[in-house]
Every structure is written in structure tokens, then in C-alpha cells.
Amino acid sequence: MFDIRKGSNGEILLSGRFDAAHVERVRDELKFVSRSCTVDFKELDYISSAGMGVLLGTQKRLADSGHSLKLINLNRHIREIFRIAGFDNVFSIE
């Protein structure tokens, strides 16, 4: 099960398992993000390489206009995957 929704402070909340089956849904949501934004992984258990690609594409698009995604509350496993992939050099991760 996977869900994406907006939090009360405008942050994007991800929960469940973000895999290839959910890429289009997330891409459709993130295409409306035009300013710097926080993505909260607190309730996210898993992210596939396809999911990581959606976030990377959004980051690149935002960077072209001086904005970025900040990723917060990554679990230990997801944080390690992002580190290995070099995403800790692309995203602000807290």
C-alpha cells in the first residue's frame, strides 16, 4: 500500500511502499511543485529505483529555477540506499 498527500505545512507526505506501480501517480502530484518543498519519509517503508528516479527528476527540474526538495525522516535503510546512490550529494537530507 502506498499514499502521497500534502501535510498541513505544505510538505509532501509519503507512506507505505513507493515502487514502480506508483510512479505515474507521484509524478502527477510532483509536477505541480514549483518552489522548494519538504518531502517527509516518516511513514515510508520502501522506495524503488523508479521512485528514486521520480524524486531525482523533480529535483533537477526545481534546481533549474533555484529551488530544491528537502528530504526528511528517512529510515536507516532508505538513508543508506540514498547514500550509496550518491543522492546525499543531490538532495538536502535531514
Return the CATH number at 21.
Answer: 3.30.750.24
CA dihedral of residues 6, 9, 11, 17 (deg, nearest 10): -50
Contacts of 48 (CB under 8 A, 6+ apart): 18, 19, 20
pLDDT band at 8 (very low <50, low <70, confident <90, very high): very high
The pLDDT score that the predictor gives to residue 56 is: 97
Contacts of 11 (CB under 8 A, 6+ apart): 37, 38, 39, 40, 72
The pLDDT score that the predictor gives to residue 65 is: 95
* Separation of CA 94 from chain center: 12
The pLDDT score that the predictor gives to residue 13 is: 98
Domain boundaries, position 79: 2-93
Spatial distance between the Cα atoms of 22 and 4, rounded to a whole number of angstroms: 10
Say what the pTM is. 0.93
The pLDDT score that the predictor gives to residue 27 is: 96
Count: domains in the chain: 1
